[in-house]
Structure 1
């Protein structure tokens, strides 16, 4: 039987210098991919980007829909609200870490800076954090907080209340905290009922530190959360076949940061990043799959064999039953990749 490393690959579907960036966001909105911000190089003095780029996979069309937003950001995060507004929180503006919020209206093509609410209690600043949508009015922010020279031994957890109609926001620091993390991932998954809890969803946080441990940074009942499962039957079936491969390694991602993840049916897919255990050749091209169907839940590890697909500071994004790999620095950790690829599991 063929080795697991030979049973998946990335196939290029588009190439354009507009896509060559890292530490950006990529959001699926109405059958298109919207790519915002990031950096063009690893040079710290180079300012981040402030443009919005669109890819229409069906039309094979790439275009800059907004050349300059007035907001330059990298190492930021955001969430889609109301299937219309891309809400961006925090990031590096070229001078400092910020916690401010603004949005892009994908219908009107307009940018707007949001106002702080009267009870706003913001972080000092945020970068390499995560911003997870709980509902159209609440986001959960976790991760690297502080000024340029300030780091904490733990990661603060914030509820970010948002109101797209009035363009206002306010942070509230939660009592709970996680281990100190930077460049981690956070994703909502159904709560593990084997832990004695009924239904609902939990926010799983992993990566961004020298550990394979997972933190739980919040739990919600089904009534309190807006989770819209994106239909992806073809990709789900392919992933199920891949994790059933004979000889697949059952190991979790460890000492990994600046990876990217996406939920595909009952699977969490994680790709790329850089390992904290190497000083050279640290950029990875490994695929990890977390299977929530099993008890206990388990990881499967599929090492990558194609050096040209090593990525860090990239994004993977689900759209129309295809998983896209967008941007990021390549194997040298400093050259941005202009290709967009889709995951292929024969």
Structure 2
């Protein structure tokens, strides 16, 4: 039976100028959030940040664990390897798009520049791409690669092999490609066959173009991947109630880019971004939920009512059964937000 009333909002839990950035990354590591890089303004000539900031929700503390790493990046992506190593791939370094790889050891507090392997076939350059962990040795990179002046008309798909022990990496371009995308999202979910049965895992790509279509950018058997299921019973139950709200609109995100998404149990939660259909007031504050419990899976759309929560170039991150909203530009698309919020479903 549908729930007659269910509301949601973002509640601020911390504010600090160290959070004021956009097009950064945010990673959950051992009960803490690690925030790296990004930019403080929408000016294209501004140099990206190179600091690492740690937020401890339990202690309500903020710490700049590395004020200057020597690596400056925005529009990059980051994955956690082995529960301690934050691996950064690609991004904008202030002068060009790069495909290089470096890491930060959250235990030792050390940065390391990685070396190219002998068979490396790297992209020309990457920004606003996605990098998804398949295993601790294999990542899948999707992006509309290109140099300063040119970009491909499609999104290349790369396998990125990594070795945390030797600090080496090598790209291999896959034969498959996706539609041209930039500022998109990629999520690894159980595959769905035509009969509705789940078999293995697939990488689904959406957003970053004027379409609501979803591309598949790789499939793996259960034995070929390492999926870490994060327990989140409270948030899963709240999202279940929200999608069962009477009158919940079944509508997929369309013409949306630079949104942020997180997998919460059987749901994919998507928030914010900017719409490609508007030249003014393009920054969004809408919540989308992709429910994989049904066959076929379906989208639900929940419009936002708080203008001050509009975000683009932000991150949402799951940690200890809470979903955090970190940084990003606000409604004007150029002022960085210096707060962290948590999703509250009533």
Q: TM-score range by the shorter chain?
A: over 0.9
The alignment status of 1:194 with 2:190, answered yes or no, reads no
CA distance in structure 2 between the aligned counterparts of 1:342 and 1:198, rounded to whole angstroms: 31
In structure 1, runs of 5+ residues without a counterpart are none
Cα deviation for residue 340 of structure 1 reads: 0.1
CA distance in structure 2 between the aligned counterparts of 1:3 and 1:287, rounded to whole angstroms: 19
In structure 2, the residue matched to 1:82 is: 82
**Partners of 2:184 and 2:206 within 8 A in 1:** yes
Deviations for 1:290-324, whole angstroms, at most 9, x for unmatched residues?
00001111000000000000000000000000000
In structure 1, the residue matched to 2:328 is: 328
CA distance in structure 2 between the aligned counterparts of 1:242 and 1:275, rounded to whole angstroms: 24
Deviations for 1:310-342, whole angstroms, at most 9, x for unmatched residues?
000000000000000000000000000001000
CA distance in structure 2 between the aligned counterparts of 1:74 and 1:168, rounded to whole angstroms: 22
In structure 1, the residue matched to 2:97 is: 97
Deviations for 1:46-103, whole angstroms, at most 9, x for unmatched residues?
1000000000000000010000000000000010000010000000000000000000
In structure 2, the residue matched to 1:15 is: 15
The alignment status of 1:254 with 2:254, answered yes or no, reads yes
Change (3 A) 1:308 1:228: same
In structure 2, the residue matched to 1:57 is: 57
Cα deviation for residue 194 of structure 1 reads: 3.3
Cα deviation for residue 196 of structure 1 reads: 6.8
The alignment status of 1:225 with 2:225, answered yes or no, reads yes
1:57-206 equivalences in 2 (<5 Å): 57-194=57-194, 199-206=199-206
Cα deviation for residue 144 of structure 1 reads: 2.2
Cα deviation for residue 195 of structure 1 reads: 5.2
SS at match of 1:191: strand
In structure 2, the residue matched to 1:43 is: 43
**Partners of 2:3 and 2:241 within 8 A in 1:** no
In structure 2, the residue matched to 1:208 is: 208
CA RMSD of aligned residues (A): 1.3
The alignment status of 1:266 with 2:266, answered yes or no, reads yes
Q: Structure 2 length as normaliser, TM-score? A: 0.98
In structure 2, runs of 5+ residues without a counterpart are none
SS at match of 2:134: strand
**Partners of 1:22 and 1:38 within 8 A in 2:** yes
CA distance in structure 1 between the aligned counterparts of 2:261 and 2:336, rounded to whole angstroms: 19
Cα deviation for residue 153 of structure 1 reads: 1.0
CA distance in structure 2 between the aligned counterparts of 1:195 and 1:185, rounded to whole angstroms: 26
CA distance in structure 1 between the aligned counterparts of 2:110 and 2:150, rounded to whole angstroms: 34
CA distance in structure 2 between the aligned counterparts of 1:28 and 1:123, rounded to whole angstroms: 28
**Partners of 1:194 and 1:295 within 8 A in 2:** no
**Partners of 2:207 and 2:256 within 8 A in 1:** yes
CA distance in structure 2 between the aligned counterparts of 1:198 and 1:315, rounded to whole angstroms: 29
In structure 2, the residue matched to 1:277 is: 277
SS at match of 1:234: helix
Cα deviation for residue 197 of structure 1 reads: 6.6
SS at match of 1:183: coil
Q: Structure 1 length as normaliser, TM-score? A: 0.98
**Partners of 1:262 and 1:269 within 8 A in 2:** yes
